Amino acid sequence: MLPHIREHSFRVLEVAACLGRALEEVGFQLHLPLIEAGALLHDLGKTPCLGTTNNHAQWGAEILRRLGYPEVARVVAEHVHLEENHGDPRPLREAEVVNYADKRVLHTRVVPLTVRFADIMERYGRTPEARGRIAATAARTRALEEKLFAPLRLSPLDLLPADDHGLQLSNVGMKNR
């Protein structure tokens, strides 16, 4: 894994773990080790897939399936696009937390969704079809953000770093559910 991708993954882990803990505290049934493993390994396939047409999320998930980690593979597979018919009856899943956390990290910085999607649009929005897909993903991610933060006193802005060494979480608190 290239060093900058590894650093990105560590920052996604920070965001996902923070959200996972906050959501668990207000009563959501989430498996924090699965969130942490999925966040840390979400870009497992990124380096080998650079410069190819391979889907890095699917490539990484397949490696994890073959190694005997199907739950982590599912989270990794969904870090770019969430499955609509996932079959999980819970109101919130680990894959959603990791997917959102990844959308908040631009390279190694935690940023608002608007900044992250502007970068994605600039880098990957080369055709009208690509721009349409990116815009649709941005809209789904904003809806996911609302879903994640509705039960929390934590706001999306609270995830922004106070400095380059971590998240600003001094005012994190939860609403009654």
pLDDT tens sequence across 120-139: 999 999 999 999 999 999 99
Burial class of residue 105, CB neighbours in 10 A (0-12, 13-18, 19+): buried
Over residues 51-94, the pLDDT tens digits come to: 999 999 999 999 999 999 999 999 999 999 999 888 899 999 99
User: CB–CB of 77/57 below 8 Å?
Assistant: yes
CATH topology of domain 3-167: Hypothetical protein af1432 (1.10.3210)
27 Cβ contact partners less than 8 Å away, ≥ 6 residues apart: 151, 177
Over residues 135-168, the pLDDT tens digits come to: 999 999 999 999 999 999 999 999 987 654 445 4
Task: Output the pTM of the full model.
Answer: 0.90
Q: Which of 139, 148, 162, 135 is nearest to 98 (CA)?
A: 148
How is residue 85 annotated by DSSP?
Answer: -
Query: What is the pLDDT at residue 167?
Result: 53
Over residues 100-112, the pLDDT tens digits come to: 999 999 999 999 9
